[in-house]
Each structure stands twice: as C-alpha cells, then as structure tokens.
Amino acid sequence: MTRTRSSESDEDSSPTTTGGGGGRGRTEMRVIVPLQGVVQGRGGLVLGSVIPCALFYLLQLYFKRHRSEPTPPPQTLTEVSELNRSLSRTHLSPRGSSAPACVSTRANSIVKSSDSPFYVGLKRVSEDPYDELSNPEGVIQLGLAENKLSLDLARDWLAETAKDSILSGGGSSGPLSMAGIANYQASDGLVELKVAVAGFMSQVMERSISFNPSQIVLTAGATPAIEILSFCLADTGNAFLVPTPYYPSFDRDLKWRTGVEIIPVPCRSADNFNLSISALDLAFDQGKKRGLKVRGIVISNPSNPVGNLLNRETIYTLVDFAREKNIHIISNEIFAGSTHGSEEFVSMAEIIDSEDLDRDRVHIVYGLSKDLCLPGFKVGVIYSSNENVLAAAKKLSRFSSISAPTQCLVISMLSDIRFIQKFIQTNRERLQRMYTKFVAGLKQLGIECMRSSGGFYCWADMRGLIRSYSEKGELELWNKLLNIAKINVTPGSSCHCIEPGWFHCCFTTLTEQDISVVMERIRKVSETCKSPR
C-alpha cells in the first residue's frame, strides 16, 4: 500500500523536475541525473519502501515505550488520599514524588473481570442460603455441582476411622507415624494415594480398565489439574477447542494465568447437544485463519452442563480428528462415577490403554470432589501417558499439592473396598431417584430436560418462559428466578451455549422435600412469564 503510494508521488515530482531544468546548464544536469536515478528508478523504490518501514519500526518502538509505563492504576483514588497523609519518611528521600505501586496487568484483568451470572448466583446463595428451618426465605442453591446426597455415608465412615487413618499414615493398622504427615512429602502425591486413587478410578468406571499409578499426578483439586495441563500442552496465545455449552470455570482454569485462548465449538439442541466433528473441523479452520495455533480439544465426559455421555464411536472419531490435526485431547471425566442412566460410560483411558501412538495425546482429568462427594478435600488427578507431560506436571505440582493428613485420610477411605463399593452403589441409586423426581417436577411445569445419564444436574429447556428469544431474555428470567423465586440456576449463556433459554440445575444439594419447594418457586415465576403471552 505504502509502496505504491510513494512511487506515485515520485513520478509526480520527477517529470516536472526534468521539465523545469530542461534548457539549463549541464553541470546541473549531471547533478540531477544521479539524483533522478535515486528518486525515480530503483533507488526510489527502495527508499520508498525502506523509509516507511523504518518509520513504522520507530513508531512501534515509541508505542512500546509508552505502553509499558502508565499501567492503568486502579487504586489511584485510595492512594492519593494516603499520599497527603504520609509524613516524616517521605521527606527523607529527596525524590519522594512517587506514583502508587501498580499491580501487573494480568492481575488487573483478573480483578476487573466481571463475574458471570454463574459466579454472581453462587455469591448470592452464600450470602443468604436457604435452610428449611432457619432460613426458609433464603436462596436455594441449584448452581453448584456438589453432591450432598451421600454425605451421611462419608460422615459415618469418618466418625469411625478418621483418627486412626490419619495417625497410621493411611495404612490400615500400622504404627503411629507422625513423620508421615508432618514432614515434606512428594509434591505430586504419596504413592499409596496414587495406588488407591487408581483403584478407585477403575472401580468407578466399572470396566476392565486399569489405571497405572505411575501415570498419575495428584493436585489440590481438579481445578489446578486442568490449569497444569493447559500450561503443559499450550503456550501463551495458543488455543483449545471446547464444545459448548461448557463448564463456566473453564474460562478461568484454562485461560487466566496460562494466556491460552478458548475457541468455542457450538453444539445445538437439534443434535441433543452432541459433539459433531464437522463443527470441530470448522472451528479448527477458523482458528487457523485467525492465526491461532490450536493445541487441543477439551471435552467433559459426562458433559458438564448437559449430562450426556460420549459413545465409543464419537470417542474414536475424536481421536481420529486429533490425530489428523496432530493435537491433544483433554478429557475431563470428573463425573465418571456419577452416572444415573442405563447408558454405558466409556473412558478415554481405553485409548491410553491401547498400544497406539495416540496414547500420547490423551490426558484425563479426574477428582474426588464429585464421585466421592468430597470437594472440601481438594483432590484432583491428572492421568496421562505422555512422559513429557507427566514430568512437567510432577514438577508443577509443587504449586498445588495436597496436605498429608488429607492424603492419609483418603488413602484409608479408598482402601476400604467394602465401604467404597457400598458408597458408589448407594450414591448412584440416590442420584437416580433425585434425577427422576426433579425432572418429573419440571415436566409438570411444562419444562422439558435434555435426556441425560450423568452428573448432578439436568439441562432444562425454559425457552418457553423467556420473553425475548435472546440472551437478554434468558438473563431476565435468570434474574427473576434468583431475586423473586430465590433459586439460583446457571443460565446457558454462562456456559457459552449458543441457544438462549437453557438452564443448568443441580439437584444434589437438595433434599427430596426441597424439590417441591423448588417447583413451587419456579411455578410462581413461570406463571408471571406466561400470562402476557
């Protein structure tokens, strides 16, 4: 662009130059000619392209200098007021006119990042939680995927064995080992816990997959497990494909500190929100066109807001797709044991088990927060057979290791096979019963749910209740449900769902009696919504 411009202007000026100097002295000519060469000919072209570039470079340099200096100070106001108060020591230093200390731009963006309705709702509930007896007017929590249905089982077990299990360092009846809990331990988890977790995983996934404890890295919850994988698989500016609707916190876990981008791959209600490879392919190409380097796909199986499972065929096509594009797959299987349908859960671990090249590109995230109902314990799992990923993740686990007493507690809990067996079974039955009741309750109100067979939640279609078929309408309904009906559900838009009117409702923090209260509250709002139509 600039090049053509400059050569045009050269040609404008040069003919007139010759015209002007036409009949004049030769000496002048001699001077002019070489100059003409410079301006008109190749030299002009070179200069014409070189000068703008140089200027551009200088401009960039200028911008760079200026950008790094005035980082937007968010706390100016508070500090300005403190500045005039500061006394004695300020006067000691002659150059004492300093600005407030700025925090980093990434911290600023984390602080400023407006909370999505998902987080707003969670906060509202924590401020005014519903309690059947002490706070019947409070907000009912349907936004947090937490299972309280089987807490009694965990409580009974802990009441009996907690002390012994911690003091024995996790062994069933070993001698007291204070050193086992007080001292420094391997940051990626005790080997005994890895063995126990591997056993639990294969028990939960019900199939003949065995997990190799040496391929496990333990972290303080699944959240850092996801972040560590994101750090290991992608560099700043790279991207992951994530089918929508997805778990709202992926936006924090995958992106915040890693600088990685998420490319949403929309799934639609017409396909039952199933993942389609053509949509993946499209998103991959679009990412490429935008100059983004796609490093992997992140899936949740069972899917998080929807609750459906990936069947074996889809998993194989996914792996084929990943191989074709030479990218990774992160499979978040944290709800693997919390299934309630008849459908069979297929773990990505089957791929890792196979003797294929593909095992290096598949990484599984797991945790005990959902299937063992112990989110407070903060135990997350990275399972991978990629040596580089394992080596890096083990070293990075120093930033999120699990405390030893908790590990000992979990070791003996998981080693109690009979308890675990009973727990898994009872928990599934209870989950199934709640799911059936909750969905039936919604159905009475005319709200259909997507058929699902995993997770603590259902994906409810409230398109009939929103006034304008848009994100605005959806958020209006969400707001009414939160502030009038006092129930906190997660709107589809927080999960980046492309279609408005879908809501994520977790029913496992409720008791059975609560269901009727919830339905009553939704009914009140839905009637006000329907009447004007």
Partner 1 sequence: MNHSRSRRNPTREPDFPTVKPPSPGGSSSGGAGAAMRLIVPLQGVVQGRGGLILGSIIPGALYYFFQLYLKRCRSAKPNSNPPSPSSSSAQLADLSRSSSRSNLSSRGSVGPVRVSARANSIAKPNASPYYIGLEMASEDPYDRFDNPDGIMQLGLSENRLSLDLIETWILENLERSMIGGADGHLNISGIATYQPLDGMMEMKIAVAGFMSQVMGTTVSFDPSRLVLTSGATPAIETLCFCLADQGNAFLVPTPYYPGFDRDMKWRTGVELIPVHCRSSDNFALSVTALDQAFNQARKRGQKVRGILISNPSNPIGNMLNKETLYSLLDFAREKNIHIISDEIFAGSTYGSEEFVSMAEILESEDFDKNRVHIIYGLSKDLSLPGFRVGVIYSFNTSVLAAAKKLARFSSVSAPTQRILISMLSDTRFIQRYIETTRERIKKMYVAFAAGLKQLGIECTKSSAGLYCWADMSGLIRPYNEKGELELWDKLLKIGKINITPGSACHCIEPGWFRCCFTMLAEEDIPVVIKRIQRVVET
Q: Rule CB under 8 A: which of 259-298 touch partner 1?
A: 259, 293, 295
CA distances from 175 to 159, 170, 179, 192, 344 (A): 20, 10, 11, 16, 42
User: Cis omega before residue 245 (within 30°)?
Assistant: yes
397: Cα within 13 Å, side-chain hemisphere: 27
For the bound state, the minimum distance from the C-beta of residue 387 to partner 1, rounded and expressed in Å, comes to 5
CB distance 1 to 31 below 8 Å: no
For the bound state, the minimum distance from the C-beta of residue 234 to partner 1, rounded and expressed in Å, comes to 5
Q: How many other CB atoms are there within 10 angstroms of residue 277's CB atom?
A: 14
Name which of 1 and 133 has its Cβ closer to partner 1: 1
181 binds partner 1 (CB under 8 A): yes
Choose the binding region for partner 1 from 194-202, 371-379, 477-485, 516-524 (rule: CB under 8 A): 371-379
How many whole angstroms separate alpha carbon 249 and alpha carbon 230? 14
For residue 503, give the 3-state DSSP assignment: strand
Residue of 196, 330, 349, 373 interacting with partner 1 (CB under 8 A): 373
x/- mask, partner 1, residues 158-177, rule CB under 8 A, reads xx--xx--xx--------x-
Choose the binding region for partner 1 from 246-254, 275-283, 489-497, 520-528 (rule: CB under 8 A): 246-254
CB distance 515 to 438 below 8 Å: yes
How many whole angstroms separate alpha carbon 240 and alpha carbon 251? 11
32 binds partner 1 (CB under 8 A): yes
Name which of 220 and 442 has its Cβ closer to partner 1: 220
Name which of residues 43 to 102 contact partner 1 (CB under 8 A): 47, 50-60, 68, 74-75, 78-79, 82-83, 85-90, 92-93, 95-96, 98-101
Residue of 4, 19, 66, 137 interacting with partner 1 (CB under 8 A): 19
392 binds partner 1 (CB under 8 A): yes
Quick one: which of 367, 419, 21 has its CA closest to 201?
A: 367
Quick one: which of 255, 222, 257 has its CA closest to 239?
A: 255
Residue of 396, 439, 458, 497 interacting with partner 1 (CB under 8 A): 396
Beta strands in 96-194, from DSSP E residues, in sequence order: 140-141
Name which of 51 and 484 has its Cβ closer to partner 1: 51
Task: Evaluate the CA torsion angle 419, 422, 425, 430 in order and state its sign.
Answer: negative
Name which of 351 and 450 has its Cβ closer to partner 1: 351
Residue of 375, 428, 453, 471 interacting with partner 1 (CB under 8 A): 375
401 binds partner 1 (CB under 8 A): yes
Name which of 96 and 174 has its Cβ closer to partner 1: 96
For residue 135, give the 3-state DSSP assignment: strand
361 binds partner 1 (CB under 8 A): yes
How many whole angstroms separate alpha carbon 49 and alpha carbon 176? 79
How many whole angstroms separate alpha carbon 133 and alpha carbon 195? 43
- 389-411 burial code (b ≥16 CB/10 A, e <16): bbebbbebbeebbbebbbbbbbb
Name which of 108 and 453 has its Cβ closer to partner 1: 108
Choose the binding region for partner 1 from 132-140, 255-263, 302-310, 433-441 (rule: CB under 8 A): 255-263
Residue of 188, 227, 251, 474 interacting with partner 1 (CB under 8 A): 227
CB distance 140 to 128 below 8 Å: no
For residue 330, give the 3-state DSSP assignment: strand
Name which of residues 445 to 464 contact partner 1 (CB under 8 A): none
Size of the site for partner 1 (CB under 8 A): 145
378 binds partner 1 (CB under 8 A): yes
Token pair, residue 204, equals 């939960």
Residue of 206, 281, 360, 476 interacting with partner 1 (CB under 8 A): 360
Name which of 300 and 308 has its Cβ closer to partner 1: 300
Tokens 């249905």 map to which residue?
A: 149
Name which of 256 and 475 has its Cβ closer to partner 1: 256
194 binds partner 1 (CB under 8 A): no
391 binds partner 1 (CB under 8 A): yes
For the bound state, the minimum distance from the C-beta of residue 433 to partner 1, rounded and expressed in Å, comes to 21
Pairing of strands 457-461, 448-449: antiparallel
Quick one: which of 531, 457, 452, 461 has its CA closest to 499?
A: 461
Name which of 374 and 449 has its Cβ closer to partner 1: 374
Residue of 358, 448, 471, 476 interacting with partner 1 (CB under 8 A): 358
129 binds partner 1 (CB under 8 A): no
Cα pseudo-dihedral 200, 204, 205, 207, rounded to 10: 80
For the bound state, the minimum distance from the C-beta of residue 310 to partner 1, rounded and expressed in Å, comes to 17
